[in-house]
Amino acid sequence: MNPLNYVRAALNFRSGLAPGATIPRIETKIAPATVAERTLDQLRRLTQYPNDGYLPITFPYIYAFPTHLSNMLDPRFPFSLMGTVHVRTVIHQVRPIGSGSKLEVTCWIEGHRDTDKGTEFDLCTDVMVGDEYVWHGKATMLRRKPRSQELPLRASRPPTDGVGAHSEQWRLPRGLSRRFAIATGDLNPIHLTGLTARLFGFDGAIVHGAWIEMRLAGTHVETCHLPNVEFRCEFKQPIALPATLAFRQWPSRTRADTFELRLLNKAANKPHAIASIGPKEITR
C-alpha cells in the first residue's frame, strides 16, 4: 500500500452527498497474482492462524484493502475518509483457496444507506481463481454524523454465554498493531504508535479490525476448510494496546454447526467484537 494515500486521506475534505444522490459504482480490478508465502507466514504468526495450506478465510479483504482505499480517494467518492469507521464484515467463502492460488480480485463501492448514526456504505470484494468464483466479502463502513446528531456510542452488554461455552484470556502486547500494519502494508497512523493514535483521539495504538477477524476465524480453522462457509464480525469498541481480553465461544442455538464468538474486555462485561462462523444458509 502507498503510505501517501493516508496523507491524501487526511487532507481530503469532501462535502458529502447531494440531496437525492448516492455513491456511484467505483470499481477496480486487481490483476491476477499469487500472494507471497512470506507475507502469509507473518500474518499467521501475528494472529496464531494455523498454517494449513490455505489462505486464511479473512485474508482476501486484507489483500483488497489498498485498492478499496484508492477507490475511496477517487474524485467521484463523496465523503472524506477521516471519521469513517469499519463497523461490520460478512464473508462468504465458496470454497477454500489454496495458498499458491493466483487471485483475480474485483473491488467496488456502490450505493449507501442512511442510518441513525450516519451513512453506511459497503466495500465489496469478489475473488476468482481461474474461471471459478471462490470468495465474496462485504465490509460495511459508517460515515458518522456529527456527535450532536447521533445516538450515544455505547457498547451493548454481551449476550449470556450459550451451552458449552469455552473461555480463555488473550494478552495483546504493545507493538502488535504496528507489526501487523507493516505485514499488511496498512500504515494507518492509529495503528502505528500510541502517539500517532492519540492525535486521532484514541488512548493508544488501536488493533486492526482485520487482526481481530483473522484471530477469531483462526479458532475454527477446520470449519474454514469446508465449502460455503460464512464468517460475520461486528465491531463494538476499539482495542487500545496493550490489552488483556476475554475470548468466549459456544455452539449457536439457532444455526447448526455454527459457533458464536465474542471478544470482550478483561472483565468480560463489554464486547469489542461479536462474530460467528459456520455453514452459509442458502436461501431459495
pLDDT of 7 reads 54
φ/ψ region of 144 (left if φ > 0, alpha if ψ in -120 to 50, else beta) reads beta
Q: Provide the 10 A C-beta neighbour count for residue 159.
A: 10
pLDDT band at 150 (very low <50, low <70, confident <90, very high): very low
Q: What is the value of pTM for the model shown?
A: 0.90
* Spacing of C-alpha 269 from chain mean position: 23
Of the chain, the percentage scoring pLDDT greater than 90 comes to: 73
Q: Reply yes or no: is the peptide bond before residue 242 cis, omega within 30 of 0.
A: yes
Under DSSP, the state recorded for 271 is: E
Q: How far apart are CA 35 and CA 204, in angstroms?
A: 31
Q: How far apart are CA 129 and CA 127, in angstroms?
A: 7
* Spacing of C-alpha 154 from chain mean position: 20
Q: For residue 191, what is its C-alpha cell?
A: 495503528
pLDDT digits 0-9 by tens, 100-128: 999 999 999 999 999 999 999 999 999 99
pLDDT higher for 148 or 234? 234
Question: Which CATH number applies to 4-279: 3.40.225.10, 2.160.10.10, 3.10.129.10, 2.60.120.640?
Answer: 3.10.129.10
Taking each helix axis from N to C end, the angle separating 59-72 and 4-11, rounded to the nearest 10 degrees, works out to: 50
pLDDT higher for 159 or 74? 74
Q: At 145, which amino acid appears?
A: K
Residue 151 has pLDDT above 50, yes or no: no
Domain parsing of the chain, residue ranges: 4-279
